[in-house]
Structure 1
C-alpha cells in the first residue's frame, strides 16, 4: 500500500488512534461477563472465609503475620486460578483468550505507560492525602502492616507480591478476563477501557480510595488498549506498584509508618 500523500488528514488520525491488535483470532470462546462475575465471587467468598479465620487467630505475632500474608495473597490467587480454568474449559486457553504475551514490545509499551502512571499517581496520591488526610489515604494493606514488624523473609515475600505477583494476578482478571468479556459484547475499545478501569477501581472495595484507584487504573488500561495485549498492562501495573511495594516493605520492617 502506498503511503498517504503529504498533508493527508488520515495520516494524523491514524497516528492519534491506538492500533488494532496485530492478530485477532476473534472472540470465539464460550465464556462472557458471567465468567468474570464467577471469578469475582471466588475472590469475595475466599476473602470472607479468611476474614472469618482472622477472628479465630490468636494474639501471637506469628499468627498475625501468617494471616496478613494469606489474607493478602490467597483470594486473588484463587480468583486468578479460576480465570485460567475458565479459559481452559470454556475457551482456547489464556494465551489466545486473554491476549497473554510477554515480549519486547510489551516491555516497551508497559514501561512507557507505567512510568507515566507512576508520576501521575504519585502526584494524585499527594493531592488526595491533603484532601482526606494521611490515615484515610492509606491503603488497607498499609494499615494492616503498620506497627506490625515482620521477619525479613515475610517482608520480602509481601514486597515481591505487591510489586510483581499481585499485578500479574489482577491483570489476568481485569485486563484479561473482564476485558475479553466486554470485547465479546462488541463494544468499542474505548468503552471497554473505561468500564474495566472503573470496575478495577471499585472492586478493590476501598470506597475512600476509589477515585485514586481510577487514576492508577488509567495508564495501565491505556497500555492494554494501545498494545492490544495483556503483557503491556502487566508491565505497566508492575512499574506503577514498585513505589507502594517499597513502602510496604519499609513499613513491615519497622523502618517507617504508614
Structure 2
C-alpha cells in the first residue's frame, strides 16, 4: 500500500470520532436553542441571565432523555457506515460462536473481574488526586447516569455499548488496521481515542483500559458482537454491582477477599473468553 493511501486511511480513522461528537453536540445545541426560544416567547420581558438560568434548569431535568436521543441519532449515522464499509460483501462470521455457553460464561466472569480492576484503579486515583475524583463524581451525579431509571438503563446498558463499539472498535480500529500498522499499535490508538472522548481524567483512564480489552475481543472473535456484549456486561457491573460492593463492610479482610476475587475472575474470564484460535476463522 502506498504512503498516500495509508495516510488517507489514517485520516478516515479520525472521522468516526468527529462524527460521533458532532452529531451528539449538534443535537444538544439544537435542543438548548429550541428550549431557550420557547421560554423567550412565553416570557418576552425576561432578561438574558434569567432566560439562560431557566433554560439550564429545564434541561438539567431532561439530561438522560436528551442523551438517549443523541445516542440514537449517532447510531443512525454510524451503523450504516460500519455495515457498508466493513460488513457488506465481506466473509461471513459465525456470530453464534459468541453465544456459546462457555464464551458467555467467560465474558460474564471477565466483566466482574475487570470491574474490580477498575475499582482498584479508582481507589488509587482517589488517593492520589482526591480533587479530580470529587469533580468526576459531581459530573456523574449531574449527568443522571448514577440514577437507576429506565432512560439511564437504556443509555448505559444498550445505546452506549452499541454506539461506542461501532465507532471505536468497528470504524476506528477498522480504518487503522487498513493503514498497515500492527494490531497492537492500532488497538492502543483506538483505545486512546475512546478514552479521550470521555473528556475527564478518571473516566478516560479506565475507558482506555476497557478499550484495549474490547479491541482484543473484536480481533479475536472477528465480530463486533463480542465487544458489544462485553461492554454491556461491564456497564451492568458498573451500574448494579457497584451498589452491592458499597453495602459490604470495610476493612482489610474484605479488601483482601475482593482482591482474590478480582484476580481469579479476571484470569478465569480471560481464559474462558479468549482461549483457542480466532473464533471467526473456522478453526476451533
The answer to whether TM tops 0.5 is yes
Output aligned runs, 1:151-230, within 5 Å: 155-230=149-224
Q: Contact 1:197 / 1:214 at 8 angstroms: preserved in 2? A: yes
Using the alignment, how far apart are the partners of 2:92 and 2:160 within structure 1?
17
Q: Which residue of 1 aligns with 2:64?
A: 68
**What are the within-5 Å matches in structure 2 for residues 80-159 of structure 1?**
80-90=75-85, 92-93=87-88, 96=90, 101=95, 103-105=98-100, 107-108=104-105, 110-133=107-130, 134-138=133-137, 140-145=139-144, 155-159=149-153
Take 2:91 and 2:106, find their aligned partners in 1: how far apart are those partners?
Answer: 21
Relative to 1, partners in 2 of residues 1:100 and 1:129: Cα closer, same or farther, differing over 3 Å?
Answer: farther
Aligned to 2:267: none
**How far did residue 108 of structure 1 move?**
4.8
Q: Deviations over 1:231-258 (max 9, x none)?
A: 2211221121113334899xxxxxxxxx
CA distance in 2, matches of 1:79, 1:212: 23
Per-residue deviation, residues 53-111 of structure 1 (Å, max 9, x unmatched): 337454697753334321x2333333332222224555543x94997935325635533
Return the alpha-carbon distance in structure 2 between the equivalents of residues 66 and 200 of structure 1.
25
Query: Is 1:79 the counterpart of 2:56 in the alignment?
Result: no
How many Å separate the matches in 1 of 2:207 and 2:107? 18
CA spacing shift, 1:91–1:47, aligned 2, 3 Å: closer
What residue number does 1:232 align with?
A: 226
CA 1:124/1:175 → structure 2, altered by over 3 Å: closer, same or farther? same
Structure 1: unaligned runs, 5 residues or longer: 1-30, 250-258
Given the two structures, how large is their TM-score scaled by the length of structure 2?
0.60
Structure number, greater radius of gyration: 2
Deviation of 1:192 (Å): 1.9
| One of 225, 228, 236 as aligned partner of 1:242 | 236
Please report how far the alpha carbon of residue 142 of structure 1 lies from its aligned counterpart in structure 2 after TM superposition: 3.3
In the alignment of these two chains, the number of paired residues is: 213
TM normalised by structure 1 equals 0.66
